[in-house]
């Protein structure tokens, strides 16, 4: 599927930009976004940007359009179909998640709308729940604008970094540099996830991972992972190919 998707979006610039808008729209659309591998698709599009097959700023603009359309369609679905949605069996099965979103919207609506755009399971649900709660459109609009402006480049970036790395000519230590770049990306993600679990420890219900990652273990594992991430970043920055990579990356994102 992803191979077909990549082949399709490289046919022309118009196809590419339409694909970006479509992926961003569907990823933001109520319920539909729960079913799509949107993060993987956005990373794939980012790799095309990094390889030079698509411009960064046109793709960013197309992503913003898709985000706005998906979020506002979801908002008005929630606003106009509130009674029907409350009787829907799918929502009854996910009542616990919706209750958490409702509680967060009541307490911190701006932060919830903004943060919800960057969290996969809540991205297609927060706008719909905001509509169901009759949140005023103006109150929904500001965090939605900020989220839609910042979400596309954030989700493109892993793919862009990979695409630029693939574009480095094969030669001395290029494989080592790519491996180090991948290692840094994985360590950044792992350190962030461990720190998040450490911060949230005791604030949420226990899950299956608590047995393997109790608070006593997180207290030393998270800082250790952070130190490993810093060391890997220093090694990456000091690598002889880093200046070449930086030049190629700047060519992609410069105006």
Side-chain half-sphere CA neighbours of 126 within 13 A = 29
| Average pLDDT estimate for 151-156 | 93
Same domain for 113 and 236, yes or no, is: no
Clarify whether residues 61 and 153 are in a common domain: yes
Distance between CA atoms of 236 and 178, rounded to whole angstroms? 10
In the chain, how many domains are there?
2
Domain match, 167 and 41 both: no
What pLDDT shows up at residue 62? Answer: 95
pTM of the model: 0.84
Using the predicted structure, report yes or no on whether residue 10 has a pLDDT greater than 70: no
pLDDT for the residue 41: 84
Examine the fold and report which residue of 157, 192, 210 is the final residue of a domain before the chain moves on: 157
Tell me the average pLDDT across 28-57: 86
User: Is residue 241 classed exposed, middle or buried when 0-12, 13-18 and 19+ CB atoms within 10 A define those classes?
Assistant: buried
Does residue 205 register a pLDDT over 80?
A: no
Checking if the pLDDT of 235 tops 90, the result is yes
Counts of helices then strands in the chain (DSSP H, E): 14, 0
Q: Has residue 7 got a pLDDT over 70?
A: no
Sign of CA dihedral 84, 85, 90, 91: negative
> Does 184 have pLDDT greater than 90?
yes
What digits encode the pLDDT tens for the residues 12-35? 667 788 889 999 999 999 888 888
Q: Given pLDDT bands bounded at 50, 70 and 90, which one contains residue 148? A: very high
Domain end call among 124, 157, 190: 157
Instruction: Please indicate, yes or no, whether residues 26 and 107 belong to a single structural domain of this protein.
Output: yes
Structural domain for 208, as ranges: 159-253
Q: Which of 133, 157, 181 is the last residue of a domain?
A: 157
Same domain flag for 20 and 124: yes
| pLDDT on residue 157 | 92
13 dihedral zone (left: phi>0; alpha: psi -120 to 50; beta): alpha
Residue 208 DSSP code: G
- 63 and 138 belong to one structural domain: yes
**Residues 149 and 180 reside in one and the same domain:** no
Three-class SS of residue 159? Answer: helix
Could you tell me the two tokens for 71? 């979020």
**Mean pLDDT within 149-178:** 88
**How much is the pLDDT for 2?**
53
Q: Which residue has the higher pLDDT, 225 or 173?
A: 225
Percent of the chain with pLDDT strictly greater than 90 = 42
In percent, the amount of the chain with pLDDT more than 70 equals 91
């Amino acid at each position: 599927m992803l191979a077909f998707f990549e082949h399709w979006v490289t046919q022309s610039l118009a196809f590419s930009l339409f694909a970006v808008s479509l992926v961003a729209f569907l990823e933001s659309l109520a319920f539909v976004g729960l079913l799509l591998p949107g993060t993987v698709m956005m990373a794939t599009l980012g790799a095309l940007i990094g390889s030079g097959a698509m411009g960064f700023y046109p793709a960013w603009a197309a992503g913003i359009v898709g985000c706005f359309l998906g979020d506002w369609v979801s908002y008005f679905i929630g606003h106009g179909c509130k009674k029907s949605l409350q009787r829907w069996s799918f929502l009854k099965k996910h009542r616990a998640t919706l209750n958490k979103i409702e509680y967060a919207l009541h307490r911190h609506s701006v932060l919830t709308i903004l943060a919800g755009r960057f969290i996969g399971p809540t991205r297609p649900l927060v706008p719909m729940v905001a509509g169901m709660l009759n949140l005023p459109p103006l109150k929904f609009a500001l965090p939605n604008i900020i989220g839609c402006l910042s979400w596309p480049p954030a989700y493109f970036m892993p793919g862009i970094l990979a695409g630029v790395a693939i574009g480095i000519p094969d030669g001395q230590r290029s494989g080592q540099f790519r491996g180090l770049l991948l290692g840094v990306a994985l360590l950044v993600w792992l350190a962030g996830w461990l720190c998040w679990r450490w911060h949230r420890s005791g604030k949420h219900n226990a899950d299956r991972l608590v047995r393997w990652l109790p608070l006593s273990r997180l207290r030393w594992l998270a800082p250790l992972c952070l130190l490993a991430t810093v060391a890997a970043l220093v090694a990456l920055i000091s690598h002889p190919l880093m200046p070449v990579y930086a030049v190629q990356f700047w060519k992609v994102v410069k105006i």
